Amino acid sequence: MSLERVRQLPLDLPAGSAARGYISPELDVPLELPFTVVRGGQPGPRLLVTAGIHGAEYASIEAAVRLAQTSPQALSGTLLVLPIVNLPAYRTRSIYLNPIDGKNLNRCFPGEAGGSFAEQLAFWLVENAIKGSDAYIDLHGGDLNEALTPFTIFIQGDQRSRALAEVFGLPLLVSSSPSGTSITAGYRSGIPSILAEAGGNGLWPEADVGVLEHGVRQVMQHLGMLAGKPEPKPTRQLGEFAWLRSEHDGLWYPKVAAGQQVQPGQDIGHIATPFGKVLQPVTAPIAGIVLFAVTSLAINVGDPLYGIGA
């Protein structure tokens, strides 16, 4: 199959065909983002799958790469996959931020046409890929410096997003409307949207890649895009999502791991100077499960330490 170089996503393909290649969005900084459009032989909804909004969350990127291999013959509707949205961050293995404007792309939605690089890229994604879709799945995971237990965030109070999260089948669900994120932009565009997370620490083991790929396929079955019935596993819903952050530059000594249950007031780590003086004892603010845990010894003021779901 030949690869295309396009300036507009070819969403109006003939039925039963696929297009793969590189899209150059009209941004101040030139980019060539890999894309795949698969148009099924039968009519159906359009699903958008993105990954690499954080460029070093590899299990999610690899899951999107595999999903892009979906055959048009097996599909009803249209599957649009953008597996490495934040290409500059991917290339530089940058955590959280992209190297061009130093911003976290997943805090820049819905973006701005005349904004900085990340704001322009967010705006482009909303206008060209999110709008017009019938459902949106944004794949993430723990960053290079984070361990994570798989969970799915759905938009708080939105039953359609919740239904997608349940059918995706990760064991933990978080109800939230995180501001500046891809899925909040999706929801505000009228599209049921979920953010599914698995993997971390720069690793992409088969289990984490597989769980994300399987989850998207279950959603596609739920939407009538693939044959078969989804078989979601039991899920546990968490409400509050507490983020703990570092108040100092220093060394980080975590005491609990992703997936572990914690109690309010529990000693879960500390930040120290290179000479062993404790700068910040860290205790769990709520009872809950550790969804992600920063594992790097290096820590900077303002960095996340843990995400705890109550």
Binding site for Zn ion (CB under 5 A): 54, 57, 140
**Backbone φ/ψ region at 126: left (φ over 0), alpha (ψ -120 to 50), beta:** alpha
To Zn ion, the closest distance from the beta carbon of 79 in angstroms equals: 21
CB of 137 to Zn ion, least distance (A): 13
Q: How far is the CB of 244 from Zn ion (least distance, A)?
A: 17
54 versus 217: smaller Cβ distance to Zn ion: 54
As measured in angstroms, the least distance from the Cβ of 84 to Zn ion is 13
Q: Which one, 198 or 226, has the nearer CB to Zn ion?
A: 198
Q: Which of 243, 244, 245, 285 is nearest to 264 (CA)?
A: 285
| Amino acid code (one letter) for 22 | Y
Least spacing, CB of residue 142 vs Zn ion, in Å:
8
Q: Based on the number of CB atoms within 10 Å of its own CB, is 231 exposed (0-12), middle (13-18) or buried (19 or more)?
A: exposed
| Neighbouring residues of 184: CB distance < 8 A, sequence distance ≥ 6 | 109, 155, 177, 178, 193
Residues 6+ apart with CB under 8 A from 138: 49, 50, 51, 53, 181, 182, 183, 186, 193, 194, 195, 196
Nearer to Zn ion, 140 or 270 (CB): 140
Residue number with CB closer to Zn ion (54 or 270):
54
Beta bridge partners of 254: 269
Smallest CA-to-CA distance from 53 within 25, 73, 82 is with 82
- When the beta carbons of 35 and 292 are compared against Zn ion, the nearer one is 292
